[in-house]
A = this chain, B = another copy of it.
Amino acid sequence: MDILRFDSDYMEGVHPEILRRLSEINFEKNKAYGLDRYCDSAKQKIREACGTPGAEVYFLVGGTQTNAVAINAFLEPYEGVVAAETGHINQHEAGAIEAGGHKVITLPQHDGKIAADELREMLRRFYADEARLHMVRPGMVYISHPTEYGTLYTANELRGLRRICDEYGMALYLDGARLGYGLAAPSTDLTLPLIAENCDAFYIGGTKVGALFGEALVIPRAGRVKQMFTRIKRQGALLAKGWLLGLQFDTLFTDGLYYKISARAVKMAEKLEQGLCAKGYPMYINSPTNQKFVVLEDEVMRELSKRVGFCFWEKPDEGHTVVRFATSWATKEEDVERLLLLV
């Protein structure tokens, strides 16, 4: 019997429209290294979607890579990046930031987010410390949006972080591995233009939102960092056939496809949540995006795991387990319905 898989949002290939176009241009001869017309077109569409006509846009292959390239580009060698202790760069990137020589300075997480007042207090202490020149200077704030817990910053929270960054001369960077699912959440008041207005850099995730692979790094105000092309190459992150990235993002940003497929995944997740709640399963965290964190009795979990794939998250106590169900752009409604029949 088949297993219903809700393990993650990167288990399937690519949106069929992208595959169609890839097939169509398969024998076209394109310029290498992102200097092709598909990249040009995709960049233009992303600039428009962000409301920043002068933005620099770079296409990279994966999230850890994009984080490492962007953070290295913005930080001086003696600077570190502030992140929630649960931030992806702190937990699950195998030390890629430290490999570039930078410390990840952690703050407590609140449902995956950092709190402005704790950030401010940390900075106040740092600048009050007479020994601060012996310490790593906080040079950037990293947030993931949605966070690793599927939660979202509000527009006011983002503006609050921006103000603190301005006060202390720091860059604000947003890891948007699942950005589409965040933008599509019904409750959010964050938009791409608002993110572009408040962040020094961010990336629009493709790998988990309809692309085969690929992330679009946006630097809304051009000229903040020099010679990104060589930086990208130096970190082994320059794709020879860059048009593969351009074509994917060009497709995702045509006719709002990126939003449409994200919205559908969020709707599937809502259906899943409602069904689980109706059956009495409590949510661990209030996530408005495509990841749902559910508390299961261990016995129920073990039984369910024979027929459904999900992701172990954490153990809140003896006897219970938190598991994650993730929908994606490719989730079928019937699979959600089948899942709900099983629980």
Contact surface of A with B, Cβ cutoff 8 Å: 5, 7-8, 10-14, 16, 19, 22-23, 25-32, 61-69, 72, 76-78, 80, 91-96, 98-99, 101-104, 106, 130-131, 133-137, 207-208, 212-213, 226-227, 229-231, 233-241, 244, 309, 312, 330
Could you tell me if A244 and B212 are in contact, using CB atoms closer than 8 angstroms? Answer: yes
Q: In the complex, which of the residues B23, B66, B91, B234 contacts A94, with contact meaning CB atoms closer than 8 Å?
A: B234
Chain B hits for A130, CB < 8 A: 312
- Interchain CB contact under 8 A, B102 and A98: yes
- Assess whether B32 is in contact with A13, with CB atoms less than 8 Å apart: no
From the candidates B13, B235, B309, name the one contacting A22 in the complex (CB within 8 A): B13
* B94 and A135 contact, CB distance less than 8 A: yes
Name the residue of chain B whose CB is nearest to the CB of A208: B240
Our pick among B26, B208, B240 for the contact of A14 (Cβ within 8 Å) is B26
Number of copies: 4
**Chain B contacts for A131, CB-based, 8 A:** 92
- A252 to nearest B CB, angstroms? 16
Q: How near does chain B come to A45, taking the closest CB pair, in angstroms? A: 21
| Pairs A–B under 8 Å by Cβ, sample size 10 | A13-B22, A16-B26, A23-B23, A78-B95, A78-B227, A94-B134, A94-B231, A98-B136, A135-B230, A137-B230
Picked from B12, B29, B64, the residue with its CB within 8 Å of the CB of A236 is: B64
